[in-house]
A = this chain, B = another copy of it.
Amino acid sequence: MTQRDDMDEVLERLRQAVGPGQCLAGPEIGPAYLSDTMHALAGPGPLALLRPRSVEQVAAVLAVCHTARVALVVQGGRTGLAGGATPLPGCVLLSLELMRGVLEIDAAAATITVWAGTTLQEVQEAAWAAGFFYPVDLGGRGSCQIGGNIGTNAGGNRVLRYGMTREQVVGLEAVLADGTVLSSLGKMLKNNTGYDLKQLFIGSEGTLGVVTRAVLRLQPQPRSTCTALCAVRDYGAVLQLLQHMRQALPGTLSAFELMWPDFYALVTALPERAPPLPHGHGGYLLLEALGSEQEADQARFERVLAAALEAGIVDDAVIAQSGAQAAALWAVRDGSAELRRVFWPHVGFDISIPTSELGEFVAACREALRSRWPEVQMVFFGHVGDSNIHIGVKVGDGEQPEHEVDELVYGLVRRWHGSVSAEHGIGVLKRAWLGFSRSEDELAAMRRLKLALDPHLILNPGKIF
């Protein structure tokens, strides 16, 4: 029997696992499935695209791949920024797009139970319609799926207050490589009965199992929003303000976003983004608090900022007096979405450094880049309250010396004991740098876990490791 015959047989078994209409092969597989945001398939296409409709079908697909030793790549909305969902040549592609929808909202438990293929926006909207708030939010909300959010431990805005996706997951169902279904869809916040298996699958980028359903924690709807843009002289003042705001607005501070002057100058040069505060300051901070009573919360927010101005921590501030004004302030920070248009090509970074040392790190990074490439342009901005910043580095207008820039910046991250991936994961694009944030012993322990749960290494091989 030739290898081709083998594969025909596998394909036939896969068809039986999900039914012929849900198993596409060759040219039937649309081009959208062949790449994700940052990375595309190189080489021959996938063996098949499977779109199961039930947990049993997912389990059957995995069992076939496990037995046949065929690689399986699970895809969510393919909006990831690390290439974790890019297909591999000859692999089985698994899309959960037909396993979509809300199964239950339990108001007393404050949980929502959903299929993994549900988009983030659908979860947000269903929660809102039931009088709740699902706090994870990111640019890809309309297409990214909860399964992908869990697989990458997605962060985004408001992590400062509500945590990353990991903190939202109360219960989880995942299918192991051999088709075993681990179902733990309880709605209890406290549950210490043996190992908390769900933690393994969160952030494992489809390499340890396929998430099929999840119970997520819901929050009360914010009934007040207070927003301000502050200008400060330097990073020392940023830290003072962070302490001040944490102390004064415990439990409600939801954004503490720093824009270094280079970023602020670039985005406020865009149309409809006139600078709300003049240029020339050492840093610009977007602050937000989400509460329950607009009038009382706004009064407190203004008192707290007035105290910061009086104490000389803040040099200038604009406090939004309406939703429209708040949106205009956010538009400045969200100018980051335009970087691919107005600051292109560039090499981008998503890193973490202990908040206490971020100021020093940025200065060192800036100096090192400039001394290597005198013509370099840079933008620094990010979720400083979460220890997470994004960096854009542009060396001239042509092809970027990507590897050299990576090497320089990640080298500094290593020296500062930081993380080479704060929220985007490792996928394929950061694989070479994983060892800058994790020791050999940690990587060996990860491989032991991988082998224990996926002995034939069929799940998303070549990702992370």
Contact = CB atoms under 8 A, between A and B. Distances in A.
Given A108-B356, A189-B159, A194-B464, A220 B246 contact: yes
B442 A182 contact: yes
B452 A449 contact: yes
Contact of A108 (B155, B187, B202, B242): B242
A293 to B, nearest CB: 7
Contact of A247 (B292, B444, B451): B292
A124 interface: no
A167 interface: yes
Contact of A192 (B196, B425, B446, B449): B425
Contacts of A269: none
Nearest to A418: B188
B186 A354 contact: yes
Interface residues of A, number: 97
Nearest to A453: B448
A243 B107 contact: yes
Interface string A228-241: 00000000000100
Interface string A450-461: 011100000000
Interface in A374-425: 383, 386-388, 417-425
Contacts of A451: 452
B190 A388 contact: yes
B193 A354 contact: no
A354 B108 CA distance: 8
B445 A176 contact: yes
A191 interface: yes
Contacts of A106: 354, 356
A152 interface: yes
A296 B163 CA distance: 27
Nearest to A174: B445
A252 interface: yes
Contact of A421 (B192, B208, B437): B192
Contacts of A181: 441
A69 interface: no
A268 B221 CA distance: 37
A211 interface: no
Interface of A, helix, strand, loop or mixed by DSSP: loop
Interface in A52-84: none
B196 A202 contact: yes
Contacts of A190: 155, 159, 164, 352, 383, 386-388, 419, 422-423
- Looking at A186, A192, A197, the one whose CB has the most chain B CB atoms below 10 A away is A192
A352 B222 CA distance: 28
A197 B356 contact: no
Contacts of A191: 352, 419, 421-422, 437
B251 A180 contact: no
A387 B170 CA distance: 12
Most chain B beta-carbon contacts within 10 A, residue among A200, A223, A249:
A200
Contact of A250 (B197, B222, B247, B423): B222
Interface of A: 106-111, 152-153, 155, 159, 161, 163-164, 166-167, 176, 180-184, 186-197, 199-200, 202-204, 208, 219-223, 239, 242-243, 246-252, 290-293, 296, 300, 352-356, 383, 386-388, 417-426, 430, 434, 437-439, 441-446, 448-449, 451-453, 464-465
25 contacts: A106-B356, A108-B243, A109-B354, A109-B387, A111-B354, A152-B192, A182-B445, A184-B442, A186-B354, A188-B387, A189-B352, A190-B386, A192-B424, A194-B464, A195-B449, A195-B464, A197-B442, A200-B449, A220-B247, A220-B250, A221-B247, A248-B292, A250-B251, A296-B300, A449-B449
